[in-house]
Chains A and B, each alone.
Chain A
Amino acid sequence: AAGVIQSPRHLIKEKRETATLKCYPIPRHDTVYWYQQGPGQDPQFLISFYEKMQSDKGSIPDRFSAQQFSDYHSELNMSSLELGDSALYFCASSGDTLYSYNEQFFGPGTRLTVL
């Protein structure tokens, strides 16, 4: 079965650079979620989109922005990168059906390293 695809899988950037992470949800899933997982930390919810509109917002820094496109893929844009942004960034998707409410399917993550 198709899964959530994230690209790139690994990314190395310098401080103050920008980065763009991409997420391709499972086909027919209309909701995308972004999480940040620091080293040894639990995943922290950043932001989510439903039908191309922002649906929920968590602890996303102002330096970050995200959007969902007409084909439902999503991009997380990160500017003025800081060392503390080094983390594993997960994307998850869900389809809003009665029996899978809030069940999120996670991608493999993008590991961002800021030097």
Chain B
Amino acid sequence: AQSVTQPDIHITVSEGASLELRCNYSYGATPYLFWYVQSPGQGLQLLLKYFSGDTLVQGIKGFEAEFKRSQSSFNLRKPSVHWSDAAEYFCAVGRSSRDMRFGAGTRLTVKP
């Protein structure tokens, strides 16, 4: 069965520091992979997605993610975090709505 694991429930980084949010998945085939960001009380906003091709994906707000098939991972990175990046981040995998699975989320706190 497909599943998504985000090992870090909560991460705190200083503003300007680099960030990496981990995502591991279990899926029978090559999945479609997504990272969403959710600000408090807001809907999910798509940061980036991977369908096929280049395994390093660029997204909005300076985020990028790398698909590593051998590690079943799709980690999200940003070289320099801004205070406005504080939010909840969800990794998702799936090829259809029925098998779309979200991770439990990682809450990012940014210290001044």
Contacts and interface: CB of A to CB of B under 8 A. Distances in A.
Interface stretch (A12-20, A54-62, A63-71, A72-80): A54-62
A43 B94 contact: no
Nearest to A99: B51
Interface string B72-112: 00000000000000000010001111101011110000000
A101 B51 contact: yes
B43 interface: yes
Tier of interface size on chain A: 20 to 34
B97 A56 contact: yes
A105 B46 contact: yes
B41 A111 contact: yes
Given A101-B32, A101-B51, A102-B95, A90 B43 contact: yes
Nearest to B4: A42
A51 interface: no
Contacts of B103: 42
Contacts of B95: 102
Contacts of A42: 90, 102-105
B42 interface: yes
The interface centre, meaning the residue of B49, B95, B102 with most chain A CB atoms within 10 A of its CB, is B102
Contacts of B34: 103
A41 B46 CA distance: 18
Interface of A: 4, 31, 33, 41-45, 48, 55-58, 90, 92, 101-109, 111
Interface of B: 32, 34, 36, 41-46, 49, 51, 90, 94-98, 100, 102-105
22 contacts: A31-B97, A42-B102, A43-B90, A45-B100, A55-B97, A58-B97, A58-B98, A90-B44, A92-B44, A102-B32, A102-B94, A102-B95, A102-B97, A103-B46, A103-B49, A104-B46, A104-B97, A106-B36, A106-B46, A107-B43, A108-B42, A109-B42
